[in-house]
C-alpha cells in the first residue's frame, strides 16, 4: 500500500510539470464527455418529444381492437366488420386516457370527383381532451359534439374534389351488416397537416354519425386509442388485441431507432478523435521525459514501475476530467430541461412533416442516468487503448529497460 501511495503521489505531482498541456488534455476530455452526455440525452429526449407530439395528434400510444381487426403481418389492412364494446376490456383504468373510434373506408363525392378516404368517427369531447387534432383544423372549425352529420376533410383532399366549407358531400361505403352505407355530410372544417399525405387520406365525423352510417350499435366501436404519453408499456388484456404504435407505424419506429443508434455511432467517433489527439499528446509528453525515465532506470527503478506511474498519471487526469464532464453534461441537460429547445433551430425555422403530419415540438431534455456511467466507461476504455502505443514506444527507447 505504501508503494501504491507513493506512486499515486509521484504521478499526481508529475501532472503539474506541464500545467498548460495537462489543462488542455483535461479540457478536451471534460468538454468532450460533457457534450456526448448532453448529445445522447438530447437525442433520447428529442426522439421521445417528437414522437409524443406526433402520436398525440392522432395515432396514440397503442390501440385496443378486436383480435381479428388487424391482419397479423400487415397492420395497414383491417377487417371493418370486427368491432368491440367496453365490456370486452377487462381493465377499466384504460378508459381514463383513451377514446373510442369508428373507422370506415368510404368514397366521398364532391363537385368534380369521387375519391376514397378513411372516415373516422370521433368522440368529440374526448378528442379535445386527449389529442391535439382540433389544432390542425386551420380553416373552419372542429366537430361539434352536439351536432350530427358533419365532416372534416384534409385541405388537399377538398381541393381535389372541389369542395368548400358549408357544402355537402355524399359519403358511400358498406355497413357492417352488409348493406350500402350512404349519407350526406356537411363540411365544417379543413385539416392542415402541412401538405402531408394524410391530408388526402383522412376525414373525420362524429362517432354517432359514423355508427349510424355503418349500421352499428350505440356501444360498438373499432378502436379504443390510448393517449397515455407517460408510458409506452402496453397492457396485457385477454380477449382483445393491443397494438403498439411501433407495430402500427413501423417505418416511424425504425427511423427513431436509427436516429438513436446513429447518435451513439457519432459519439464513439468523437471519443475516437479525442483519443487519437490524446495519444499524440501523450507521445510527445513521454518522449520529453525520456531522460528522466533513463535516470530512474539507472538508480534502480524497474520498467514496470515507470509504466505504472505513467498509467496512474493518465487515469488521474482522466478521472478528474470525466468527473468534470459528467457534471457539465448534467448541468447542460438540466438547463435544457427547464428551457426546452425549439426543434426548428435545427431545421432553419421550418416545421417538421413526420408521417404526413405537421409538428413543431419543443424538446425538453430529461437526463438518462445510464448515460452518466456508460459515457465515462467508454472513454476509459478508449483512454486505456490510447496509452498502449506511447508506452510501448517509450519502453523500447529506454536504454536500460529490462
In this predicted model, what pLDDT tens digit does every residue of 44-62 receive, in sequence order?
887 777 788 788 888 889 9
Closest-CA residue to 227 (of 295, 139, 133):
133
Output the nine-digit C-alpha cell for 361. Answer: 415540438
pLDDT of residue 4: 59
Mean pLDDT of 304-333: 81
Q: 15 φ, ψ to 5°?
A: -65, -25
Count Cβ atoms below 10 Å from residue 143 Cβ, excluding itself.
26
Residues 132 and 57 sit within 8 Å (Cβ to Cβ)? yes
Mean pLDDT over 203-207 rounds to 93
Is 12's pLDDT higher than 70?
no
Question: Helix or strand or coil: residue 20?
Answer: helix
Share the mean pLDDT of the chain.
81
More confident residue, 281 or 184: 184
Tell me the C-alpha distance between 183 and 170, whole Å.
Answer: 6
pLDDT over threshold 60, residue 356: no
Question: What number is the average pLDDT over the span 304-322?
Answer: 75
Q: What is the pLDDT of residue 221?
A: 93
Chain segment 77-132, per-residue pLDDT in tens: 888 889 999 999 988 889 999 999 999 899 998 877 888 999 999 999 999 999 88
SS3 state at 252: helix
Domain spans in the chain, listed from the N-terminal domain onward: 2-55+253-397, 62-228
For residue 188 the three cell numbers come to: 365544417
C-beta atoms surrounding 203 within 10 Å? 23
C-alpha 382/C-alpha 379 separation (Å) is 5
- Choose the weakest-confidence range: 18-32, 148-162, 248-262, 297-311: 297-311
State phi, psi for 241 to the nearest 5 degrees.
-105, 140
Amino acid at each position: 500500500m505504501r508503494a501504491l501511495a507513493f506512486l499515486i503521489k509521484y504521478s499526481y505531482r508529475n501532472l503539474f510539470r506541464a500545467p498548460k498541456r495537462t489543462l488542455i488534455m483535461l479540457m478536451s476530455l471534460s468538454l468532450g464527455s460533457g457534450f456526448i452526455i448532453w448529445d445522447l440525452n438530447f437525442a433520447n429526449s428529442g426522439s421521445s418529444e417528437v414522437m409524443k407530439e406526433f402520436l398525440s395528434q392522432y395515432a396514440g400510444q397503442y390501440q385496443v381492437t378486436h383480435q381479428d381487426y388487424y391482419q397479423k403481418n400487415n397492420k395497414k389492412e383491417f377487417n371493418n366488420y370486427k368491432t368491440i364494446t367496453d365490456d370486452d376490456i377487462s381493465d377499466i383504468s384504460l378508459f381514463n386516457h383513451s377514446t373510442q373510434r369508428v373507422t370506415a373506408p368510404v368514397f366521398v363525392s364532391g363537385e368534380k370527383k369521387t375519391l376514397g378516404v378513411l372516415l373516422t368517427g370521433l368522440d368529440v369531447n374526448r378528442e379535445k381532451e386527449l389529442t391535439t387534432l382540433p389544432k390542425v383544423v386551420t380553416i373552419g372549425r372542429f366537430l361539434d359534439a352536439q351536432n350530427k352529420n358533419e365532416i372534416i376533410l384534409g385541405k388537399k383532399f377538398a381541393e381535389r374534389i372541389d369542395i368548400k366549407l358549408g357544402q355537402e358531400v355524399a359519403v358511400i361505403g358498406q355497413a357492417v351488416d352488409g348493406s350500402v352505407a350512404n349519407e350526406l355530410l356537411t363540411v365544417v372544417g379543413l385539416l392542415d397537416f402541412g401538405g402531408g399525405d394524410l391530408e388526402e387520406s383522412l376525414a373525420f365525423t362524429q362517432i354517432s354519425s359514423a355508427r349510424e352510417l355503418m349500421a352499428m350499435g350505440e356501444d360498438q366501436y373499432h378502436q379504443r386509442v390510448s393517449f397515455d404519453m407517460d408510458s409506452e408499456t402496453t397492457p396485457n388484456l385477454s380477449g382483445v388485441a393491443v397494438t403498439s404504435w411501433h407495430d402500427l407505424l413501423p417505418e416511424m419506429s425504425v427511423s427513431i431507432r436509427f436516429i438513436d443508434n446513429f447518435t451513439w455511432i457519432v459519439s464513439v467517433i468523437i471519443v475516437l478523435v479525442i483519443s487519437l489527439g490524446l495519444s499524440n499528446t501523450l507521445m510527445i509528453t513521454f518522449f520529453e521525459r525520456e531522460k528522466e525515465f533513463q535516470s530512474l532506470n539507472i538508480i534502480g527503478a524497474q520498467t514496470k514501475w515507470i509504466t505504472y506511474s505513467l498509467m496512474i498519471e493518465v487515469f488521474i487526469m482522466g478521472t478528474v476530467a470525466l468527473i468534470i464532464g459528467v457534471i457539465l453534461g448534467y448541468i447542460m441537460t438540466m438547463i435544457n430541461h427547464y428551457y426546452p429547445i425549439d426543434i426548428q433551430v435545427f431545421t432553419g425555422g421550418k416545421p417538421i412533416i413526420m408521417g404526413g403530419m405537421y409538428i413543431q415540438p419543443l424538446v425538453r431534455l430529461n437526463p438518462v442516468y445510464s448515460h452518466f456511467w456508460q459515457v465515462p466507461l467508454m472513454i476509459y476504455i478508449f483512454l486505456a487503448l490510447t496509452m498502449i502505443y506511447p508506452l510501448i514506444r517509450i519502453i523500447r527507447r529506454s536504454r536500460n529497460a529490462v
